[in-house]
Structure 1
């Protein structure tokens, strides 16, 4: 195993996980675009997962993001674990000077990534429902804690790493849709309901022995929970083009996740939240082909055009129910 980078070692020492002057070995992990992530073996044999936020994300576009987001990820992990202990890794420490945090190591043999399951066509509607159920549980609990909103002064950060690269950038690619997309940005930014994860994606959800485990809350924000719902559902739609043989099952997961999530919404009328998620979803859908962070598995222009066709029509006539988005995509796929 190679030596762990110096700044990570400094962070581990500052957290009290590594003695002064001691070193550690580890293994860099693939998959992240916003952080360096390592599996680190400490001198006493303990394994930990260490993340260090990057100032420039690993994408083709020039996408800068403040490394202070590491602080808010640590806070999200702490608060979310109060609501759903089995659904969040245990935070071991965080060092702001190096932008580093450490969590318990969850071995991939026991905690496979949901995205890989979906890539294989393994679409488990019961698991998708549990994702929705636990996400709603965390948000419901946090909605009862408005006092913690001051722990997440991240409006500018959320704009920089979510609203701008997804919706604002897509508005530049589709000038005729700019008013609709900019209105989504303004509404999302102004809606303050509960603690938002900001990156609820299958790549950030582990299939654990006791259900889903949420990772990578670098975009944590006190704001609109409809963003989390729409962001995750968006991936289930896109996966229909990645693994077409499982498309019907992915749409079943879409229904299961949305239904379970909305059943757990108690901080506002579920239909009101659903309307925001349904109208936001086409913007996020289009963003994953024409924003700053296109999904890596859609490489054929004909597939991108299918996304554009459906998303553009829905942005021009905004839906207020998620099933409207689902049925439009189902029709485009000819299912």
Structure 2
């Protein structure tokens, strides 16, 4: 963890802060792949972020810090289509892999994950997330210019496909014939701009709708991955907080209903059919990949997720609704 002085001096050297500035800097929690700070300036608080070469997980997981530049590009590009649902970039220093962006007060913009954990589950908000994603995907689909700026398949491989899908193929070799082709097909896609980490921990529950953060996995590829990733997280919450399982499932369905009508670049059914096996693989990866979900802790919960996800991967799922139906049925027999 860099010292506060180091970050402040870097911002002074880059020209963002005056040489004699003495700003207050506060380290924010939750950074697995980056150092994140609140910086109080005369104009108000801002957020400073710097990418880490080694991610803060139990496994030895490293990724090039150049991903910081692509995160900035994703934020700038997505903001053209999603507006205030994406933070504004205020400053960037590529030589130090750090940037400054909008800061959101936790009192008005709580993180969606603890809101869900507390049982404050708003299906309408999940629908807003779905519409936001569809808007970004539709706005960027089929753009050679945007695709050329996000030649990041190698990074996406390092951050998502290898630690999630390919890792699970190593842990469960009997499923490798499903998981490896799925990873290969996903890696080969060039359809729209993908965020790659659409998780409730990266979404703020703002008064005017969602705000999407942390685009370090930015990639021009298969938008089905974003839908699958967020959907898998909503299903996992059913295991974490079973008292709210029905509400989480409602949010899952609301996400699908809002997202799929916005799929204008291809058949919604085609995208749905790609999202379902990805969601199944992601569920498995949240217990047996390099970045397991921190809230699926007990042997019983891990065993449940593993068993149902293995079944979904092995049998295949034709659509997200079918996947959710299997998940709901399995929950009812716990």
Asked if the contact 1:7/1:98 (under 8 Å) is kept, the reply is no
* CA drift at 1:17: 2.4
* CA drift at 1:308: 1.3
Name the residue aligned to 2:89: 91
* CA drift at 1:21: 5.0
- Alpha-carbon RMSD across the aligned residues, in angstroms, is 1.5
The change in CA–CA distance for 1:29 and 1:316 in structure 2 (over 3 A counts) is: same
TM (norm. structure 1) is 0.96
* CA drift at 1:129: 0.5
* CA drift at 1:26: 1.1
Name the residue aligned to 1:288: 286
Name the residue aligned to 1:272: 270
* CA drift at 1:6: 1.2
In structure 2, how many angstroms separate the alpha carbons of the residues matched to 1:117 and 1:324?
27
Asked if the contact 2:26/2:37 (under 8 Å) is kept, the reply is yes
Name the residue aligned to 1:4: 4
* CA drift at 1:145: 2.9
For structure 1, which runs of at least 5 residues remain unmatched after alignment?
A: none
In structure 1, how many angstroms separate the alpha carbons of the residues matched to 2:195 and 2:13?
28
Name the residue aligned to 1:263: 261
In structure 1, how many angstroms separate the alpha carbons of the residues matched to 2:53 and 2:94?
14
Name the residue aligned to 1:206: 204
Asked if the contact 1:11/1:101 (under 8 Å) is kept, the reply is no
In structure 2, how many angstroms separate the alpha carbons of the residues matched to 1:146 and 1:274?
24
For structure 2, which runs of at least 5 residues remain unmatched after alignment?
A: none
**Counterpart mapping for 1:50-61 below 5 A:** 50-61=48-59
Name the residue aligned to 1:36: 35
Asked if the contact 1:139/1:194 (under 8 Å) is kept, the reply is yes
Picking from 122, 137, 160, the partner of 2:135 is 137
**Structure 1 ranges of 4+ moved more than 4 A:** none
* CA drift at 1:20: 3.2
SS in structure 1 opposite 2:215? coil
SS in structure 2 opposite 1:47? strand
Residue range with higher mean Cα deviation, 207-216 or 17-26: 17-26
* CA drift at 1:8: 5.2
Asked if the contact 2:147/2:190 (under 8 Å) is kept, the reply is no
In structure 2, how many angstroms separate the alpha carbons of the residues matched to 1:261 and 1:217?
19
The change in CA–CA distance for 1:123 and 1:12 in structure 2 (over 3 A counts) is: farther
In structure 2, how many angstroms separate the alpha carbons of the residues matched to 1:38 and 1:159?
28
Name the residue aligned to 2:231: 233
* CA drift at 1:25: 2.0
In structure 2, how many angstroms separate the alpha carbons of the residues matched to 1:237 and 1:89?
27
The change in CA–CA distance for 1:211 and 1:13 in structure 2 (over 3 A counts) is: farther
The change in CA–CA distance for 1:12 and 1:65 in structure 2 (over 3 A counts) is: farther
TM (norm. structure 2) is 0.96
Asked if the contact 2:69/2:94 (under 8 Å) is kept, the reply is yes
SS in structure 1 opposite 2:232? helix
Name the residue aligned to 1:307: 305
Name the residue aligned to 1:66: 64
